[in-house]
Amino acid sequence: MIPLKRRKVVPSGAGNTGNTGSEESSPNKFPQVILFLLERKMGASRRAFLSQLGRKKGLQVEEMFSERVTHVICENISGDEVVAWLESGVGGRGRSSAHLLDVSWFTESMRAGRPVEVLDRHRLQQQMREAEVVGFSAPSYACQRRTTLDNHNAILTDALSLLAENAELSGEDGRGVAFRRATAVLKGLPEPVTAVTQLVGLPCLGGHSLRVVKEVLESGASSEVEATKQSERFKALKVLTAIFGVGVKTAERWMREGIHDLQQLRDSGRTLDRSQRAGLQHYDDLNQPVTRPEADAVAAIVEEALAAVLPGATTTLIGGFRRGKLTGHDVDFLLTHPEEGREVGLMTKVVSWLETQGFLLYQKTTRNSYLEAEDGPARPSSNMDRFDRCLSIFKLPVEVKGEGLNPWRAVRVDLVVSPISQFAFALLGWTGSKLFERELRRWAGHEKAMSLSSHALYDKTQSRYLRASSEEEIFAYLGLEYIPPSERNA
């Protein structure tokens, strides 16, 4: 009788290195080297064999491609094909420092029992050499990057911004944010992009965005963007949501009822609320950009109102104009008083003065509802602030030349009142850009275990609020380099 073959017993926990579970894998001896073997043209069985061989030699071999990979091992494939694979989004996004190597480097390393030096003969050849195309690098979060108004890639960012807008108008907020983040990365680049290979490894640039960029670089336009511009639905939503007081859901409901433009809305006899009536009445003015001189003229009126109702109160121009923009779609002001508590009731007094003086065509005021809970902000926290706030349409006097011209124009103005104790947070939150602020909150939550709003910064690990009297202090709490307003145009 032939005895049964005794099974090999593996002690509990042995060989568990997080790779394939092979009992013959050796511990990772070379942590600075992370390999990924590209299956394409190599074949699944050969890839599995080589992966097991590499792990036996103590190398870390990843099953999935990621930004951690330092060496991409390929067989019977050109460098251009590998780059195209990386850009397609199928394999994720490659790091600009990752080596694209022929399998010969791997076999030489196996013979040597260690990763050998990468030589020119190991590198995959590309038609466009790295010396000719310099890749860009950028931090992952927009709040880590300095973005001025000097955009070197407007043709690319305009295309992605339009796709972001279309996604938002379609209720696809996730796709909209993805396009906005890709746009922000391109806005922050120091030079024009000349080849899509320069973008390999940059954060937030997924396969969809890269395909659009590549098409624009090669043909001067994106077919998807051009089709979106010609879409009747997109054009109708653009017109209707440009009415002050009209959101996407309202516009879509009107479209289902056959209303696609302003004249159809006027002829429909539909009952509009107060804000929508004002928005329709002053549509042309409100969709004409506000200039910096006009913003300064509104500021002078607000300062006059403060001087009349509460001497010592201050106003700060916020939003895009604080970031250095020369035009905007509205004008925002942050009001406060250097003595805590004196700002209570200030909004009511300012609005009353403006109405008495004939400066308001429309206004809607909301009261401050912010409460600081001892156990921290409510979860999930709201990104909307709770300050005293007035959404208004100003009747701004203008210099006119010629008969029949209107001596005033309608301008959208937001007034916000903050206690001095929350002023630094309100100033940071209301300066923008919108994506910069979103990324600040994401950084605070994901990287620092904190909760940031326009009211406060709460440290969850210490279970306490962090007080600040300046934006610089808030950046320091977050572990970020201070970025001035003029460089927050993400």
Catalytic residues: 330, 332, 414
Supply φ then ψ for residue 389, to 5 degrees.
Answer: -145, 140
DSSP state of 430: H
Cα 286 to Cα 288: distance, rounded to the nearest angstrom: 6
Beta-carbon-side half-sphere exposure of residue 19 (alpha carbons within 13 Å)? 26
Note whether 60 and 28 are within 8 A (CB): yes
Question: 99: burial class by Cβ within 10 Å (0-12, 13-18, 19+)?
Answer: middle
Q: What is the per-residue DSSP string for 373-396?
A: -TT-S-SSPPSS--SEEEEEEEEE
CA-CA-CA-CA dihedral for 36, 38, 39, 44, to nearest 10: -30
Q: How far apart are CA 418 and CA 300, in angstroms?
A: 19
How many angstroms separate the CA atoms of 260 and 230, rounded? 14
Evaluate whether 237 touches 265 at the Cβ level (below 8 Å).
no
Residue 184's nearest CA partner among 218, 129, 144 is 144
Report whether 349 contacts 342 (CB < 8 A): no
**Full strand arrangement of the beta sheet holding 457-459:** 450-452, 457-459, 464-466
Task: Return the amino acid letter for 221.
Answer: A
Please report, for the chain, how many H helices and E strands are present, in that order.
Answer: 17, 14
Q: Report helix angle 154-169 to 173-187, nearest 10.
A: 170
Cβ–Cβ under 8 Å, residues 362 and 273? no
Q: What angle do CA 106, 110, 111 make, to 5 degrees?
A: 120
Contact 63, 91 (CB under 8 A): no
Helix (H, G, I), strand (E, B) or coil at 19: coil
* 393 CB burial (10 A radius; 0-12, 13-18, 19+): buried
Round to the nearest angstrom and report the end-to-end CA distance of the chain. Answer: 79
3-state helix, strand, coil in the chain (%, to 5): 40, 15, 45
